[in-house]
Structure 1
Amino acid sequence: MSDHALPDTLPGWLARLEAAHPVGIDLGLERVAEVARRMGLLEEPLAPRIITVAGTNGKGSTVAMIEALALAHGLSTAAYTSPHLLRYNERLRLDGRQADDATLIAGFEAVESARLVGEPISLTYFEVGTLGALRAIALSRPALAILEVGLGGRLDAVNIIDPDVAVITTVAHDHAAFLGTDLEGIGREKAGILRPRRPAVLGSTRLPSSVRAVADQQGARVVALGEAFLCQGEGEGWRWSGQDGGGLAIDLDGLPDPGLPLDNAASALQALALVDVALEEGACRRALSTVRLPGRMQWRGQWCLDVGHNPHAAAYLARGIAARPCSGRTFGLIGMLGDKDADGVIAALAPVVDAWVPVSLGGARPRGADDLAHRLALQDAQVWCRGDSPAEAAAWLSARLEPEDRVLVCGSFLTVAAVLEWQLAAEQASDQTAEEATRIEGAR
């Protein structure tokens, strides 16, 4: 495709990128690093402080809390995450605000120009998006850049950037086609983001031994949950103890419940302290009491939306649901991609779900509602109905809910996004109907 034919809209660019590379995921750093060099992205640090976050679950929560805490302390920020729920713009936030279309398009154009200099280099959708975001971050010159690793660690495109602090949240089974099923091997891949003489924040007490082994081999400074930093208590009024970059002890007490995993909150505080941010109790309380992350235990009336799509995430979700008992029924609207451990997710959630509505997901890794219904039946779970799509099932359920009932929407980003879009459209239609009724009444 020649330059004069390049898209001039964000949807046009995204459609082009989806069709540009022969495979959707192509792990390796050689191609993306070469284009980054052509763009000048590796000549100097993106920002005075850089934190990279990897892990199976909890990455998005940790990034969101680091960002909120930094902003509360007066720092300018840039945060790059993936995937998105409703809009691609969610993937890049500058000072807490989603990047506009023009910023993203300018990044895509710069990547396209650089990849065609000399020998053309083919890049995946994610690699182009990463390079475009890194360019936008470099141009915005924030005090802190926070980068979420998309998949794995060692060979992920984000890993072309050297962080000042690397965070590993959790290690569990997911993306088996790319990372395998051996937790020690997965841990080594995640630990590929660690750097010599730089702090490595280990945000779980259950990481495989390979993570610390890689840290030792790299000569990274290990700062581990349960050792160098702690979170004590649950819910409102929990306590955090950690250390600053020089190893001096820090304590924060009476912290608010962020509505996100406290291990991730503790890791966020620790990572920020290690990039020499003097944590102030008031700022930390403001940040943790206001941080929001769509699709993570997100309650919208009777509906709880959570993107968890592996057994580890489902177990955390089940504990959260169990902690909020209700007098009615709990329905599970579940849609999962074909390469995910549906049996493990169902088993983790079964104790808190009374009846299920499995739905079909399409795309490159489809899974039908019939497959999920079969798996649910094998675990003696009640299937109330089946849906051809998440939105169809949500509409069907909505018409049958009692006021005391609730719905857990889970299994995939795609499932949550579709139901959230349906909800927003329904709310907009309801508002328009109310406005029209008011207008007619006023005209009488």
Structure 2
Amino acid sequence: MSDMPSTLDAWLERLERQHPVSIDLGLERVARVARRLGLDTGPIAERVITVAGTNGKGSTVAMLEALGRAHGLSTASYTSPHLLRYNERLRFDGEEADDATLIAGFAAVEAARLDGEAVSLTYFEAGTLAALWAIARRRPELAILEVGLGGRLDAVNVIDPDVAVVTTVAQDHAAFLGDDLEGIGREKAGILRAGRPAVLGSTDLPASVVEVADGLGAVRHTLGEDYRRELSAEGWAWRGRDAAGAALHLAALPDPGLPLDNAATALQALALAGVTLDAVACRRALAGVTLAGRMQWRGQWCLDVGHNPHAAAYLAARLAERTLAPRARRYALLGMLGDKDAEGVVRALAPVIDGWVCATLEGERARTAAALAEVVRGAGGEVVAELDSPRLAADWLAARLDEADEVLVCGSFFTVADVLAGWQS
């Protein structure tokens, strides 16, 4: 097709324009194009693990990828959204996909959606199908797929996983998933499959997740019941089971700097995918895993994309473990979209924050710094500045920080991305 874009940026601009709304949940259109691409004719990888949840998806995927690679497996991972480059969304053997791979995937999807009656796809749907097509062409030993939103109706769910993971269930994306936790749980559990392992990675999931799993006849493995993590003087230990039900135990594991519940869940999912866990490989993987924008420290700055009260509570707990020097202050550089629970986030972080710098986020779900500052003051917080962007807020703070001060940059992927982009420019 002669009118196909020739660059990745041109493709992304085209995809952003081609569907009337940015989020259009449902699998009928995606499944039709997936069949045209041949994604229904066989597995896209030797093992597929799909990860859904409100929080913890990204860290679970990162640890699964690191663990798989440490065990010598060829890997592919698909995540969203990205921070700085679209290429971050698709990785092969730990490396971001190059432009040519992504362009080839977009071209294949475009040809398939126009083959016969045209099918309209959202930006996310087209990107997901392009990634799945690229993964299927390589057929790695392990593919890890992160659900974008929900689960049951998310484009990723056109692929049947060998192991399905639900990390956590909390309120987020209320415009699409509602605010009923039982209903949200049913949506997340939509990735589970009959007769296949379901790894439930939280001790506080709604009853609906278990109901869906048991109703399907999925083989349920629940954190705190069927597998667990235990703190020890040597680090932490994991106990779980392999696919045959045999007990497994790994000791003296290092802190990956990411939630240990998610680390335990990644280990259990990998074991159920048929990988024989090697203690040395697991320690090496967990000691070296990194994930941009999740408790990512750069000097005195901590960047985290957390944007709901559940994620903020985890951040507050981790920051509370750190002792500030006398007279040092910890600031929050906060930018949040208008449809997020800013009050819940602020109240969760308030015990560990001394001053707040509020930043405006623009776009269709914009929230101004002034509106965010009003929420902070309403919760009893001290607003020290209001700036027109996270990048400007970071510059303002950098000029005023004392050497022992700390800054938490959080509230949105957009907030963290803008600060990182500013540092790179």
Q: Under TM normalisation by the shorter chain, which class is it?
A: over 0.9
Quick one: percent identity of the two aligned structures? 68
CA RMSD between the two structures: 0.8
Cα contact 1:77–1:142 (8 A) shared by 2: yes
Q: CA deviation at 1:141?
A: 1.4
Tell me which residue corresponds to 1:15. Answer: 13
**Letter of the 1:304 counterpart:** C
Name stretches of at least 5 consecutive residues in structure 1 with no aligned partner: 426-444
Amino acid corresponding to residue 280 of structure 1 in structure 2: D
1:336 and 2:336 equivalent? yes
Max radius of gyration: which structure?
Answer: 1
After TM superposition, give the deviation of residue 7 of structure 1 in Å: 1.2
- 300, 305, 316: which one pairs with 1:307? 305
Partners of 1:386 and 1:51 in 2: how far apart? Answer: 43
3-state SS, counterpart of residue 144 of structure 2: strand
Give the 3-state SS of the residue equivalent to 1:232 in structure 2: strand
**What does residue 252 of structure 1 align with?**
250
Asked if 1:417 is matched to 2:413, the reply is no
Instruction: Return the alpha-carbon distance in structure 2 between the equivalents of residues 333 and 325 of structure 1.
Output: 19
Matches within 5 A, 1:317-396: 317-327=315-325, 328-396=328-396
Match of 2:151 among 150, 153, 164: 153
1:182-193 map, 5 Å: 182-193=180-191
Q: Which residue of 2 is the match for residue 58 of structure 1?
A: 56
- State the Cα distance separating 1:157 from its structure 2 match: 0.3
SS at match of 2:237: strand
Code of the residue aligned with 1:381 in structure 2: it is G
- In the other structure, the counterpart of 2:85 is 87
Aligned equivalent of 1:228: 226
Gaps of 5+ in 2: none
Does the CA-based 8 Å contact 1:51-1:167 persist in structure 2?
A: yes
Query: 1:440 — aligned with what?
Result: none
Whether the aligned pair in 1 keeps the contact of 2:78 and 2:91 (CA below 8 Å) is yes
Provide the C-alpha distance between the structure 2 equivalents of 1:49 and 1:208, rounded to a whole number of angstroms: 28
Q: TM-score, normalised by structure 1?
A: 0.94
Deviation at 1:237, TM superposition (A): 1.1
Identify the residue that residue 439 of structure 1 maps to in structure 2.
none
* 2:44 paired with 1:35: no
Structure-2 separation of matches of 1:234 and 1:215: 32
Q: 1:325 Cα deviation (Å)?
A: 1.8
Contact 2:169 2:205 in 1 (8 A): yes
Counterpart of 1:279 (choices 277, 280, 295) is 277
Query: Which amino acid in structure 2 is aligned with residue 60 of structure 1?
Result: G
The change in CA–CA distance for 1:366 and 1:88 in structure 2 (over 3 A counts) is: same
Structure 1 residues 92-118: Cα deviation after superposition (integer angstroms, max 9, x where no partner) = 000110000000000000000000011
- Give, in angstroms, the shift of residue 5 of structure 1: 2.2
* Pair 1:351–1:170, CA change in 2 (3 A): same
Of 99, 102, 105, 2:100 maps to 102
Shift in Å, 1:422: 1.2
Cα deviation for residue 236 of structure 1 reads: 5.9
SS across alignment from 2:13: helix
The question of whether the paired residues in 2 share the 8 Å contact of 1:231 and 1:241 is answered with yes
Kept in 2, the 8 Å contact 1:235–1:257? The answer is: no
TM-score by length of 2: 0.99
* Residue-by-residue CA offset, 1:344-366 (whole Å, 9 max, x unaligned): 00000011110000000001100
> Could you tell me how far apart the structure 2 residues matched to 1:65 and 1:178 are?
28
Paired position in structure 2 for 1:406? 406
Aligned length, in residue pairs: 423
Distance of 1:4 and 1:381 partners within structure 2: 57
Distance 1:354 1:208 in 2: 34
**Which amino acid in structure 1 is aligned with residue 268 of structure 2?**
Q
Task: Tell me the secondary structure at the aligned position of residue 201 of structure 1.
Answer: strand
Q: Distance in 1 between matches of 2:364 and 2:140?
A: 37
Instruction: Provide Cα deviations, 1:415-438, integer angstroms capped at 9, x if missing partner.
Output: 00001111223xxxxxxxxxxxxx
Q: How far apart are the structure 2 equivalents of 1:299 and 1:236?
A: 24
Return the match for 2:171 from 146, 170, 173.
173
SS at match of 2:143: strand
